[in-house]
Amino acid sequence: MLVQYLTKGSTVEVTSDEDEFKGVWFEATVLGYSKTNSGKEVVLVEYKSILVDENSLTPLREYVDMSLVRPVPPKEKVERFELNDVVDASHKDGWWTAAVTGVLEDSRYKVTFQNPPEELEFGISDLRFHRDWVKGNWVRPGRKQETKQSGDGESTQRKTRGRPQKKPISTPTGVSPAHSLKQCGEKREKQDMPMQTPVNGTPTTQTETQSLPFVKTSLLWGKIESMDIFQRIPQKPHFCPLEKETESSRERLAIGCMVTFSRMAEKTSGLHIDNPRSTFDEILETLSDLEKHGFDVQPVRGRLTELLLMKDKKEKLEAQVADIGNEIMMHNTDRENIDGEIEDINKQIEEIQDKISLAVSRKEVKDREIDVLRSQLEVTQADMMNAHNAFFSIATKPL
């Protein structure tokens, strides 16, 4: 299970399992995750200060085991260091473990590294207390015990302290088995031996002089090694795993490996973004097998890794598009319901307006009837007054 500090975009520190750089921590950014064929989780990181090579400005990317990754230690303000404090020194783009062996003026210190033995001077800003990441907690070790040096204080086999020679980005399936280099080390040391000449007298077209577990007798070697793919990505396979096969089949199997490499490179170039992931996994697995035979599969594997990253990005974007489409459909349904409500309200408004118009017409009729009655009232009142006056006039006449 991935832990919180390994989320994408997080800044972490990465170490190496190479003897020369064990315990040296390099700052990097988490780009993603994957699993090896055995199901082991690995992390894709991009280093902040380590480049692909000396002539490149591209930061190195590679898959590393989760055990080689930790969060960045908490920053703390240090007033001073004491003699024999275990510290990390910022040196050669990484943090190297050392011990304080001298306290100088102006907040400067002498520190001594163990592997390789070396004493250098650092300012306080380039030092930090050494801490180990143990079961999710930072643990600070005690002070270093003083040790006596031999007469000249120098090791007779002094190593050079510098950047680790990292390989470019590799996929999880490319965790090289120990067999590929260690068991074949002796054979690769024999590369200074004279070129092998087939029994038919035609010398091999390979320029390297490595010792192989068979003699090249087939005329196919010239055609195969002159192929464009082997000009662009030169190969020097050792074919050590073929030692387990019968001698009569070794050369045939080696030629098959060469053809397979060419086919995998061609297949990688022809990949489509809609190809199933199993196609990518099949190529990666084949490259892993070829790597055991000494093939340099990194250029093809690196291309595959980039394509997989783009494929993953497209699949995530497709999921986002589907989610957004579903939301649009839901909003459209809500809008249609609202349109229905507006239509009902408009009908109600029309009915009310009709009722108002009818009431206004009835009111106008009543107003006219009232005006007629008022006119009749005025005439009747006038007639009543005339009758009253006539009565009074008749009543007051002498008999």
Query: What pLDDT was estimated at residue 228?
Result: 93
Measured CA angle at 337 (ends 334, 342), to 5 deg = 125
Query: What pLDDT was estimated at residue 375?
Result: 93
> In terms of residues, how long is the chain?
399
**189 vs 350, which has greater pLDDT?**
350
* Rounded-to-integer distance, Cα 109 and Cα 125, Å: 11
For residue 19, pLDDT beyond 80: no
**211 vs 107, which has greater pLDDT?**
107
Give the rounded percent of residues in the chain with a pLDDT score beyond 70. Answer: 82
23-80 pLDDT per residue, tens: 899 999 999 888 777 778 889 999 998 888 777 788 888 889 888 999 999 988 899 9
323-347 pLDDT per residue, tens: 898 889 889 988 999 999 999 999 9
Query: What pLDDT was estimated at residue 162?
Result: 53
Helix (H) or strand (E) holding 309: helix 298-395
For residue 117, pLDDT beyond 90: no
Query: Mean pLDDT across the chain, nearest whole number?
Result: 82
23-35 pLDDT per residue, tens: 899 999 999 888 7
Residue 123 bridge partners (DSSP): 108
Closest CA to 255 of 266, 242, 270: 242
251-279 pLDDT per residue, tens: 999 999 999 999 999 999 999 999 998 99
DSSP 225-272: HTSHHHHHS------GGGGGS-HHHHHHHHHHHHHHHHHHHHHHHT--
Asked if the bond preceding 117 is cis, omega within 30° of 0, the reply is no
- Average the pLDDT over 99-127 and give the result: 90
pTM metric for this prediction: 0.41
Structural domains of the chain in order of their starting residue, each with its CATH number: 1-72 (2.30.30.140), 75-141 (2.30.30.140), 219-304 (no CATH)
Task: Please name the amino acid found at residue 316.
Answer: K
Sign of the Cα torsion 275, 276, 282, 285 reads: positive
* Rounded-to-integer distance, Cα 390 and Cα 378, Å: 19
pLDDT band at 196 (very low <50, low <70, confident <90, very high): very low
Closest CA to 217 of 201, 230, 235: 201
SS3 383: helix
Query: What pLDDT was estimated at residue 177?
Result: 34
Query: What pLDDT was estimated at residue 272?
Result: 94
pLDDT band at 399 (very low <50, low <70, confident <90, very high): confident
Query: What pLDDT was estimated at residue 53?
Result: 78
**357 vs 155, which has greater pLDDT?**
357
Structure tokens at 375: 């006119």
317-326 pLDDT per residue, tens: 988 998 898 8
Helix axes 277-292, 247-269, angle to 10 degrees: 140
Closest CA to 92 of 154, 155, 50, 47: 50
For the stretch 130-139, contacts whose Cβ atoms lie closer than 8 Å and that sit 24 or more positions apart, written own/partner, are 130/86, 130/87, 130/88, 130/97, 131/73, 133/70, 133/71, 133/73, 136/3, 138/73, 138/74
Distances (CA, A) of 224 to 195, 292, 338, 375: 18, 20, 71, 124
Residue 62 bridge partners (DSSP): 45
For residue 182, pLDDT beyond 70: no
- Average the pLDDT over 362-368 and give the result: 94
121-147 pLDDT per residue, tens: 999 999 999 999 988 899 988 766 544
Token pair 């387990």 is found at 244
For residue 238, pLDDT beyond 90: yes
Inter-residue contact 19 to 75 (CB < 8 Å) = no
Query: What pLDDT was estimated at residue 309?
Result: 92
